[in-house]
Structure 1
Amino acid sequence: MIVGIGVDVVDIERFGRQLERTPGLRDRLFVPAERELNTRSLAARFAAKEAVAKVLGAPAGMNWQDCWIGLDQNGPTIQVKGTVLAVAESKGVKRWHLSMSHDGGIATATVLAEG
């Protein structure tokens, strides 16, 4: 059963400027394993986190570091803990599906939550 679908797009150049202008933003949004990635990859991961938030109804108090994008043999994976895991469990999410891309200055992510 599909619990929810979320989609988000990020302007890569604008996102990069925001990271440069806002000290600590990279640390607030990303776990250590993500922080060293290039701006395109960070923008796609931020889009994925936003899409996860949309699937969950954009809950107040969501900690950005409680959701991160990992990689396995099949590609990118959504990992959750803490605040994000609690909301996901309350909605019956058992499995996440993720597609990310970047082209033409835009990063995009689509997330499907399955119960």
Structure 2
Amino acid sequence: MILGIGIDIIEIERIKKSVEQYGDNFLNRIFTKTELEYSLNKKNKFQHLAARFAAKEAITKAISSHHKSFGWKDIEIVNLVNGMPTVNLLGKLKDFLGNDKIIHISMSHSDHYVTCVAILSLKT
């Protein structure tokens, strides 16, 4: 059973400009240490940062009718060994999924945009 759906699209250039304008203040407010280590070591670092930003937005939309009190860093996007992105919920969201819910995400990008869809569902 689907409990929530969220989608987000963002211009990669928007994230690049935020990083250039606000630097570490922006990066450390939005992203976890793990996300920064992963993204900043990539050739297309702004694309990877934008993907994580879009994922956090999509996840927020998917869960917002069930949980409202959390921050950017309570959602962490990591990649499995095979490259598939997955979600770690931290802080105030750590216990939200419990044993009965799961969040699926799918991210995609072009040269200028990144998009992510998130689905919150009951485990079957």
TM-score bin, normalised by smaller chain = 0.7 to 0.9
8 A contact 1:3–1:93 mirrored in 2: no
1:48-87 alignment, distance < 5 Å: 48-57=55-64, 60-74=68-82, 75-86=84-95
Matching residue of 2:33: 32
Percent of counterpart pairs with the same letter? Answer: 35
Structure 2 length as normaliser, TM-score?
Answer: 0.80
Matching residue of 1:12: 12
Between the aligned partners of 1:94 and 1:6, the Cα distance in structure 2 is: 15
Matching residue of 1:106: 113
Structure 1 length as normaliser, TM-score?
Answer: 0.86
In structure 2, the gaps of 5 or more residues are 40-44
Between the aligned partners of 1:53 and 1:93, the Cα distance in structure 2 is: 18
Between the aligned partners of 1:42 and 1:106, the Cα distance in structure 2 is: 12
In structure 1, the gaps of 5 or more residues are none
The Cα RMSD (Å) is 2.1
Between the aligned partners of 1:45 and 1:102, the Cα distance in structure 2 is: 11
State the shift of 1:89 in Å: 4.1
Task: Pick closer, same or farther for the CA change 1:18–1:93 going to 2, 3 Å.
Answer: farther
State the shift of 1:84 in Å: 2.7
> Which deviates more, 58-67 or 25-34?
58-67
